Amino acid sequence: MLWVIFWVLVSFFAVVGLMETLLFLLEIIALRRISSIRKVSLRVELSGNAENTEYILNTLLLMLNRVDIGDEEATLEISDGGISDRMRADILEYCEKNPWVRFTYDQ
């Protein structure tokens, strides 16, 4: 009985892995067919205060890199929609480390 459960689980994860691989290949093929896009830029307006600023920015960069199909490097533009001073300092520090991230705010 234990072997049956084992093989059912192995089969399930094999099917899931195969489906993920096929979806990944289809996504690559579909994105490579678009040749008119030269540059991708993601603009996000942040507001409020968050303790995990670096996590938020890393997540946005991962989203941006997932759709980046142009010749030039993709950029992430963060706009100030009323964020706290501490979060603004964290974003500016992150921008210094990552030149493809820009921060715009009104002073």
Per-residue pLDDT tens over the stretch 27-72: 888 777 666 667 778 888 888 887 888 898 889 888 887 776 666 6
pLDDT, tens digit, 9 for 90 and up, residues 82-98:
888 888 888 899 999 98
What is the pTM (predicted TM-score) of this model?
Answer: 0.60
Element containing residue 101 per DSSP (H, E) = strand 101-104
Element containing residue 10 per DSSP (H, E) = helix 2-32
Distance from C-alpha of 103 to C-alpha of 79, rounded to nearest angstrom: 6
